[in-house]
Amino acid sequence: MSHYISITEAERAEMLAAIGVQGVTDLFADVPEALRFPELKLPPALSEIELRRELGAMSNQNANANSHSIFLGAGAYNHFVPSAVDQILRRSEFYTAYTPYQPEISQGTLQAIFEYQSLICAMTGMDVANASHYDGATALAEAAIMAVNSTRNRRTVLVAPSVNPQYRAVLRTYLQGTGIRVRGDENPHATLDEVLALADNTTAAVLVQSPDFFGTLHDLKPLVARAHAAGALLVAHFDPIALGLFQSPGEAGADLATAEGQPLGIGLNYGGPYLGMFACSEKLVRKLPGRLAGATLDVEGRLAYVLTLQAREQHIRRENATSNICTNQGLMALAAAVHLSLLGRQGLRRVAELCYHRAHYAAAELGKLPGYRVEDRGAFFKEFVLHCPRPVAEINAALREHGIVGGYDVSQDYPDMPNAMLLCVTEMNSKAEIDVLVDELRAS
Amino acid sequence: MNTYEPPIFELSAPGKIGANLPALDVPAAELPANLLRSDDLAAMPELSETEVMRHFTRISQRNYCIDTGMYPLGSCTMKYNPKIHEEAARYAGFAGAHPLQDEQLSQGALRLMYELQTLLGEISGFDAVSLQPAAGAQGEFTGVLVFRAYHLSRGDTERNEILVPDSAHGTNPATAAMVGMKVIEVQSGPRGNCNLEDLKSKLSPRTAGLMLTNPNTVGLFEQNVREVAELVHAAGGLMYGDGANFNAILGIVKPGAAGFDFMHYNLHKTFTTPHGGGGPGSGAVGCTAALAPFLPGPRVEQYMQDGKPAYRFFTPAQSIGRVKSFWGNFGMLVRAWTYIRTLGAAGLREVSETAVLNANYLRVKLQGTYPAAYNRTCMHECVLKGQLAEAPQARTLDIAKRLIDYGFHPPTVYFPLIVPEALMIEPTETESKQNLDAFVEAMLKIADEARADIEILHQAPTTAPVRRLDEVRAARQPVLKYDAAKFAQLREEGSARARELATPRT
């Protein structure tokens, strides 16, 4: 009997007698006999001691933020996570609770969601934020669908080629059965102006990212004006860390705003679980996908929180729902709420400054190396493109020997950018670490 | 103990910070003035670490959770979440690995994913597995997209209908609609099973597939599963298996052998990765060899390098594309791998046998008082009706709320939609007989109370941190973020309500 089972053999016999069957196998008479009790060819069960050894060995085979200096971003970021964040996530009360459908005994989760929504609104300047999506990519894809559902007879979305290539791939997957067209990134180097020039009376939304995939910051205000002039909505995908210093989607006038929330208190986790952040303007709230917590009162007049406006959701509206989303990334939204509360107004700004200034220091130093050149794509935040004298894979193989995870090989997605490395510098990369990177590249 | 905790914004005071950050050690670069934000983040709170910890710890205590009690939520499989899982997922090489680092630097993570693909395939009887979908609904979405791609690849361009039983979870029809499919509802038969005649009448050359939950949402095994699959296949359609109820059939039956072409696994149900108050989940999917080329990528494959097995990503030839960034909710995959390796084949079968035993025990103990929707052996959950003889005014909602006062999380209520006043009870395999008996006792007491004085139920819960909520106010005057003025108004209304209650009625 496994150590998770709490029923003794004697109790089992007693229960079977109460049910009126001889043995537990009798309970499966409805399963066609020919299919019943197949052999499962699985490796033998392991004790906890053996599990730790096996898992420890697999873990030790992976480079990670403790073992290596990481200068890789491209959608997943090595940011500081205060110890307090995980201490909260480890509380059984949060992580072993279900979705708060019984609000009287779920006020902890509901208040956390409400505060998460509030913090996202405070930081983005948007009116409403939902309780989360799977990740930044799916948040952006669902924003495109929501934009189409919020406009009339407009079945095209424009996406800038500077939006993360994985996000654009997910967008196309999401839309493949809908008849909604995706345009704008046919030319991989089209500028935002060129993308906006395509907006017409069939355009439901324009999807832009700032800082974009290459780290470049954009002024979204004129883009919003142009999208609106064409009758389209503007969807802004942002980096929450950049909002410590730079223009928020709300002040730019964006209609919808999405982000990868992983930089807010969530580890790299080899790609997940992450956090899809999703916010919109007040007038679009009835089309919003996902869960929403709201404040209300109980029968005695106490302040309390509850899931609300559920008439948008699949368990009520079924095929007429705004989305099929059910399970989201609740615990990751809690991580973001705790993280934002710890950083607060000052901390958010200071982390953004550390990223900005260290990235600019790294770019300046790397740009001095013979054979290397930092591409001038305008103002940037924490990522920038470094043109190298050799293929990125070769350079990264050399860096690997020195405990450094180098930047992203841009040519994987932009074939006409050979030897281009997308480097990422955050508050985790000290000046000393940056200097080592510069020295290794000089030597290699 | 008063556990009320104000919104975090009301604890803020200028000048505080809750994080210990490094000093700037490089020269400051010039900032682009036209791109700076103009509000100086004035709406963000400012608190010390001490205050943040106390705030979130206090609000956590206003939650019910598995580690404090039984959670018999039908269709949600709220079983115990093992602690080794939490430790393992936090090992530095898992929690701190960058998803885009070289495959050579990620062999342990890739091996774990490869092994989990293989383990899930074996348990379910499928040839290929993708770990990418983030949740059950995204697994469904993946499946319907794969069906679409499969039909189109064969030049079968007219298949735009998905059949969904009337007992299905809401995600099934919502998913089909998201893929641009027309949803056709199939009626349930007298045993809660698929009505074969109705199914036959709805199958056509436009049928892309049928989405079937088995065991179904009334907790019964679809005895006719092979006949259903034969009918769907004969019409040129495909069989989608909603794996929400997979916990009942580990080592009992393989869906891949029962005629299903595709299914999703809710790793956050059957394989006990924690629910986290709503997520993250993981909706890994498995399918037959015929559908494997369409799976989302990348998946992981094994190859030989210097005579030793090594692992790498590959994207299936006719893949529908990515459904999310990177490779899936990897942290959940670590936990699921650990669970399967902890239990092995015999342990997994014991899970399902005990889950089914526990559910049937509750059924026989309760059905004399709460009528069973279907009077027969159930699988891992039983569906009863909150319709009490001699207490016709009792409602399922009131019974559920009264359970809270007895220290239990209520079952799933009013689902499935085809059962009036449904109480869907899934105890899971990890509950003790002592707990099951205590739950039975509470349910029977509630029935007595309903007969004696229905007001006891109407007033419930009275022992939770708050009592029943004004959901109408929440929806009609939405307060979806902190706003000092709106909170002042809420408090004023609250005080008025409290005064009204304190005034003796004449």
Note the pLDDT tens digit of each residue in B219-278. 999 989 999 999 999 999 999 999 999 999 999 999 999 999 999 999 999 999 999 999
Distance CA B450, CA B459 (A): 12
Q: Which CATH class is domain B84-343?
A: alpha beta
CATH number at residue A158: 3.40.640.10
Query: A211 lies in a domain?
Result: yes
Residues of chain B by 3-state class (helix, strand, coil), percent to 5: 40, 15, 45
Interchain proximity A94–B63, CB inside 8 Å: yes
- Based on the fold, state whether residues A330 and A384 are members of the same structural domain: no
DSSP bridge partners of A278: A258
The backbone region for A201, taken as left when phi is positive above 0, alpha when psi lies in -120 to 50, beta otherwise, is alpha
B30 burial class (0-12, 13-18, 19+ CB within 10 angstroms)?
exposed
Chain B partners of A1 at a C-beta cutoff of 8 Å?
Answer: 350
- Based on the fold, state whether residues A360 and A323 are members of the same structural domain: no
Interchain proximity A300–B498, CB inside 8 Å: yes
Q: Encode pLDDT of B131-190 as tens digits.
A: 999 999 999 999 999 999 999 999 999 999 999 999 899 999 999 999 999 999 999 887
Q: Would you state the structure tokens that stand for residue B329, as one six-digit string?
A: 């909710």
DSSP bridge partners of A270: none
Cβ atoms of A177 and B181 closer than 8 Å: yes
Distance CA A114, CA B55 (A): 14
The answer to whether A300 faces chain B, any CB pair under 8 Å, is: yes
Q: Least CA distance to A433: which residue of chain B?
A: B25
Cβ atoms of A366 and A387 closer than 8 Å: no
| 3-state SS class at B296 | coil
DSSP class of residue A106? Answer: B
Interchain proximity A96–B67, CB inside 8 Å: yes
The answer to whether A315 faces chain B, any CB pair under 8 Å, is: yes
Distance CA A418, CA A166 (A): 19
Beta pairing class for A293-297 and A276-280 = unpaired
- Based on the fold, state whether residues A301 and A256 are members of the same structural domain: yes
- Based on the fold, state whether residues A169 and A311 are members of the same structural domain: yes
- Based on the fold, state whether residues A220 and A366 are members of the same structural domain: no
The backbone region for B363, taken as left when phi is positive above 0, alpha when psi lies in -120 to 50, beta otherwise, is alpha
- Domain termination residue (choose one: A273, A306, A339): A339
Q: Cα angle vertex A440, ends A438, A443, to 5°? A: 110
Residue type, A349: R
Chain B partners of A181 at a C-beta cutoff of 8 Å?
Answer: none
Q: Least CA distance to B162: which residue of chain A?
A: A319
Cβ atoms of A349 and A244 closer than 8 Å: yes
Q: Least CA distance to A250: which residue of chain B?
A: B37
- Report residue B505's pLDDT band, with 50, 70 and 90 as the boundaries: low
Q: Least CA distance to A15: which residue of chain B?
A: B361
Q: Which residues contact A172 (CB under 8 A, 6 or more apart)?
A: A182, B321
Q: Tell me how close the Cα of A138 comes to any Cα of chain B, in angstroms.
A: 6
The answer to whether A434 faces chain B, any CB pair under 8 Å, is: yes
Listed in sequence order, the DSSP H helices in B188-287 are 196-202, 225-234
- pLDDT (average), residues B375-390: 94
The answer to whether A22 faces chain B, any CB pair under 8 Å, is: no
Element (H or E) spanning B254, and its range? Answer: none
Distance CA A264, CA A249 (A): 17
Which of B40, B91, B353 comes nearest A55 by C-beta?
Answer: B91
Interchain proximity A42–B348, CB inside 8 Å: yes
Which of A103, A306, A427 comes nearest B21 by C-beta?
Answer: A427
The answer to whether A431 faces chain B, any CB pair under 8 Å, is: yes
Domain count, chain A: 2
Distance CA B292, CA B311 (A): 19
Q: Nearest CA to A245 among A340, A343, A350?
A: A350
Query: A40 lies in a domain?
Result: no
CA quadruple A225, A229, A233, A237: dihedral, nearest 10: -30
Query: A191 lies in a domain?
Result: yes
Q: Which residues contact A431 (CB under 8 A, 6 or more apart)?
A: A358, A361, B25, B26
Element (H or E) spanning A131, and its range? Answer: none
Element (H or E) spanning B423, and its range? Answer: strand B422-425
Q: Would you state the structure tokens that stand for residue A418, as one six-digit string?
A: 């050979």
Which of A60, A65, A396 comes nearest B102 by C-beta?
Answer: A396
pLDDT at B334: 98
CATH number at residue A424: 3.90.1150.10
- Report residue B375's pLDDT band, with 50, 70 and 90 as the boundaries: confident
- Based on the fold, state whether residues A360 and A247 are members of the same structural domain: no
Query: A229 lies in a domain?
Result: yes
pLDDT at A87: 98
Query: A60 lies in a domain?
Result: no
Distance CA A210, CA A238 (A): 5
The answer to whether residue B506 scores a pLDDT higher than 70 is no
Q: Would you state the structure tokens that stand for residue A410, as one six-digit string?
A: 């841009």
Best mutation site among B3, B73, B98, B377 for testing chain A: the one with the most A CBs within 10 Å? Answer: B98
- Based on the fold, state whether residues A289 and A147 are members of the same structural domain: yes
Query: A412 lies in a domain?
Result: yes
- Based on the fold, state whether residues A215 and A76 are members of the same structural domain: no
The backbone region for B324, taken as left when phi is positive above 0, alpha when psi lies in -120 to 50, beta otherwise, is beta
Interchain proximity B65–A318, CB inside 8 Å: no
Query: A409 lies in a domain?
Result: yes
- Based on the fold, state whether residues A366 and A438 are members of the same structural domain: yes
Interchain proximity A292–B66, CB inside 8 Å: no
Cβ atoms of A394 and A409 closer than 8 Å: no
- Based on the fold, state whether residues A374 and A293 are members of the same structural domain: no
E runs forming strands in A134-263: 156-159, 181-183, 203-210, 233-238, 256-260
Q: Would you state the structure tokens that stand for residue A415, as one six-digit string?
A: 């074939």
> What's the mean per-residue pLDDT of chain B?
96
* A126 phi, psi to nearest 5 deg: -90, 165
Q: Would you state the structure tokens that stand for residue A371, as one six-digit string?
A: 């054979």
Interface of B with A in 14-33 (CB under 8 A): 16-22, 24-29, 31-32
Best mutation site among B3, B4, B12, B62 for testing chain A: the one with the most A CBs within 10 Å? Answer: B62
Instruction: Output the tens digit of pLDDT for each of chain A's 444 residues.
Output: 899 999 999 999 999 999 999 999 999 999 999 999 999 999 999 999 999 999 999 999 999 999 999 999 999 999 999 999 999 999 999 999 999 999 999 999 999 999 999 999 999 999 999 999 999 999 999 999 999 999 989 999 999 999 999 999 999 999 999 999 999 999 999 999 999 999 999 999 999 999 999 999 999 999 999 999 999 999 999 999 999 999 999 999 999 999 999 999 999 999 999 999 999 999 999 999 999 999 999 999 999 999 999 988 888 888 888 899 999 999 999 999 999 999 999 999 999 999 999 999 999 999 999 999 999 999 999 999 999 999 999 999 999 999 999 999 999 999 999 999 999 999 999 999 999 999 999 998
- Based on the fold, state whether residues A154 and A228 are members of the same structural domain: yes
The answer to whether A49 faces chain B, any CB pair under 8 Å, is: no
Question: Computed from CA positions of residues B410, B411, B415, B419, in that sequence, does the dihedral angle turn out positive or negative?
Answer: negative
Query: A26 lies in a domain?
Result: no
Q: Which residues contact B152 (CB under 8 A, 6 or more apart)?
A: none
Chain A partners of B380 at a C-beta cutoff of 8 Å?
Answer: none
Distance CA B58, CA B340 (A): 35
Q: Nearest CA to A280 among A83, A65, A440, A130?
A: A130
Q: Least CA distance to B327: which residue of chain A?
A: A271
**Three-state SS across A379-441?**
CECCEEEEECCCCHHHHHHHHHCCCEECCEEHHHCCCCCCCEEEEECCCCCCHHHHHHHHHHH
Domain boundaries, chain B: 8-60, 84-343, 471-502
Element (H or E) spanning B60, and its range? Answer: helix B49-60
The answer to whether B95 faces chain A, any CB pair under 8 Å, is: yes
Q: Which residue is associated with the tokens 């039956």? A: B253
Domain encompassing residue A113: 83-339
- Based on the fold, state whether residues A322 and A408 are members of the same structural domain: no
- Domain termination residue (choose one: A320, A339, A358): A339
The answer to whether B126 faces chain A, any CB pair under 8 Å, is: no
